[in-house]
């Protein structure tokens, strides 16, 4: 009976899946001690040789997730020559999926790693949108992928968050009459800046609802139609000076507007 052994986890990606399966299995044997030696991102025969050739402990088992058939076969042949038992974690799963779906797998290595990278990019974009929301720090303007400018309640923040989930770093800047527009708005590449406008009658309804929710006085200038028209006129002048594309948010869903923005950005790039 083996008392101690090594588990070599070899993967063309991070190797977490193979490690977790190997550990779960090894923990079932209470009278044996083991050590896991993980080798991620193994995509060549040379790397396999580098890992397996130096091993002189006969009490070793190889657990692997390698989707490239030739590389996986080379690993198995190498294990057989060395006398190591080996376990293919991904192979049986792919085989069953192939029979079920009726098509061959792409066998692309590092797919999960790519998904993880997308996830972290999305998290970074969301954190960026929160940090630079509503003009909190104009220094974010020159770092952003997209800069949204417009009056209050023209959907700047909802758009910023939606676009962040599409991996875009977004800054939104409120245009308030009497308040200085950050210099960075004029310095940013025109292809990054998008103006948002909205019909005055729609905007006043949105603002009234906001006032009601906050429990504030409904007689404030914030919901005055004359003041709203002044604000929109002022914002339009700024947008003309910037020379940016303008999207009318009247009756427009955030998803629809976001797709328009993405199309504009992509066309200009």
Question: Would you say 154 is a known binding-site residue?
Answer: yes
Question: Would you say 152 is a known binding-site residue?
Answer: yes
- Radius of gyration for the alpha carbons in the chain, expressed in angstroms and rounded: 29
Rounded to whole angstroms, how far apart are CA atoms 40 and 171? 37
Question: Would you say 44 is a known binding-site residue?
Answer: no
DSSP annotation of 41 reads -
Question: Would you say 42 is a known binding-site residue?
Answer: no
Rounded to whole angstroms, how far apart are CA atoms 140 and 182? 11
CA distances (Å), origin 264, targets 118, 135, 162, 245: 22, 22, 16, 8
- For residue 187, report the phi and psi dihedrals to the nearest 5 degrees: -85, -25
* Residues 6 or more apart whose Cβ sits within 8 Å of residue 184: 138, 139, 141, 142
Residues 258, 166: contact at Cβ < 8 Å? yes
Compute the residue count for the chain.
269
**First-last CA distance in the chain:** 65
Which of 46, 48, 47, 60 has the alpha carbon at shortest distance from 8? Answer: 60
Question: Would you say 17 is a known binding-site residue?
Answer: no
Residue 125: other Cβ atoms inside 10 A: 22
Question: Would you say 157 is a known binding-site residue?
Answer: yes
Rounded to whole angstroms, how far apart are CA atoms 146 and 162? 12
As annotated, the binding site includes 150-157
As annotated, the binding site for ADP includes 150-157
């Amino acid at each position: 009976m083996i008392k101690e052994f090594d588990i070599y986890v070899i993967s063309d990606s991070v190797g977490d899946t193979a490690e977790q399966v190997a550990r779960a299995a090894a923990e079932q044997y209470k009278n044996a001690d083991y050590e896991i030696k993980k080798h991620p991102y193994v995509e060549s025969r040379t790397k396999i040789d580098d890992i397996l050739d130096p091993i002189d402990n006969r009490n070793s088992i190889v657990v692997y997730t390698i989707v490239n058939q030739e590389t996986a076969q080379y690993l198995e042949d190498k294990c057989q020559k060395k006398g190591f038992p080996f376990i293919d974690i991904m192979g049986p799963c792919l085989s069953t999926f192939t029979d079920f779906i009726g098509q061959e797998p792409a066998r692309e290595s590092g797919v999960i790693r790519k998904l993880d990278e997308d996830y972290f990019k999305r998290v970074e974009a969301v954190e960026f949108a929160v940090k630079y929301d509503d003009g909190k720090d104009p220094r974010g303007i020159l770092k952003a992928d997209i800069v949204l400018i417009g009056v209050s309640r023209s959907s700047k923040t909802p758009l910023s968050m939606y676009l962040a989930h599409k991996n875009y770093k977004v800054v939104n800047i409120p245009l308030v009459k009497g308040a200085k527009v950050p210099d960075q708005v004029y310095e940013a590449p025109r292809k990054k800046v998008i103006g948002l406008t909205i019909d005055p009658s729609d905007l006043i309804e949105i603002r009234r609802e906001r006032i009601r929710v906050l429990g504030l006085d409904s007689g404030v200038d914030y919901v005055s139609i004359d003041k709203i028209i002044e604000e929109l006129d002022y914002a339009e002048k700024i947008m003309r000076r910037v020379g940016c594309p303008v999207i009318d948010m009247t009756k427009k869903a955030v998803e629809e507007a976001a797709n328009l923005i993405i199309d504009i950005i992509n066309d200009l790039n």
